[in-house]
Amino acid sequence: MTYYNAMTTLMFVSVGYQGKKTIEMKDWKREILDGVEMVSFTGCVPGVMFVYGENSQAILANKKGHVLCAAAEFGKGRIIVFSHNVFVNSFGKNDTKRKYKRFNLNIRNWITKNTDKGNEIPCFSDYFNNFDELPPECRILTWNGLPVRTEDNSLLKLLDWVERGGGLICGVCPWGFAEVYKIDVENIPLNIIFKAIGIAYAGKLMYKNDSDLAELLVKDNMADYAKPSDLVSAINKHPEKINRLGGLIHSVVHLPEELYIKHKSHVVEMIQKLSPDNDHIPTRSKPVESHGAKKAAMLMCDIMIRDGLEGNVVLAEGIHEFPGTFENTPEVQSIELEFSSQTHKFHSTGYYLPAGTSMGLSWSKTKKPWNIIIGLHGDELYNTDSKLRRWPKIRIKKELKTNEFGKFFFNNTKHLQSIWRTDLFTVA
Q: What is the predicted pLDDT for the residue at 52?
A: 92
Q: Are 88 and 145 in contact (CB under 8 A)?
A: yes
Continuous H helices in 50-138: 85-88, 101-111
CA dist., res. 313 & res. 309, Å (int): 10
Q: What is the predicted pLDDT for the residue at 212?
A: 53
pTM: 0.80
Q: Are 37 and 190 in contact (CB under 8 A)?
A: no
- pLDDT bracket for residue 365 (50, 70, 90): low
Least confident of 169-178, 181-190, 191-200, 373-382: 373-382
Q: What is the CA radius of gyration of the chain?
A: 24
- pLDDT bracket for residue 320 (50, 70, 90): confident
Q: What residue type is 159 in one-letter code?
A: L
Q: What is the mean pLDDT of the chain?
A: 79
CA dist., res. 116 & res. 106, Å (int): 10
Euclidean distance between the first and the last CA atom of the chain, given in angstroms as a whole number: 30
- For residue 239, count other CB atoms closer than 10 A to its CB: 9
- For residue 342, count other CB atoms closer than 10 A to its CB: 7
Of 31-35, 213-217, 402-406, which one has max mean pLDDT?
31-35
Q: What is the DSSP letter of 202?
A: E
Position with higher pLDDT, 403 vs 315: 315
Q: Judge whether residue 80 has pLDDT over 90.
A: yes
- Cα–Cα distances (Å) from 5 to 8, 12, 148, 157, 185, in that order, read 8, 19, 10, 15, 11
Name beta bridge partners: 383. Answer: none
Position with higher pLDDT, 4 vs 315: 315
Q: Judge whether residue 3 has pLDDT over 50.
A: no
- Give the tens place of pLDDT for each residue, 115-159: 887 777 888 888 877 888 888 888 999 998 888 765 558 888 999
Q: Judge whether residue 238 has pLDDT over 60.
A: yes
CA dist., res. 311 & res. 300, Å (int): 17
- Give the tens place of pLDDT for each residue, 14-51: 333 345 455 577 799 999 999 999 998 878 889 999 99
- For residue 128, count other CB atoms closer than 10 A to its CB: 20
DSSP one-letter string for 61-78: E-TT--EEEEEEEETTEE
Q: What is the predicted pLDDT for the residue at 423?
A: 36
Phi, psi (rounded to 5 degrees) for 371:
-120, 145
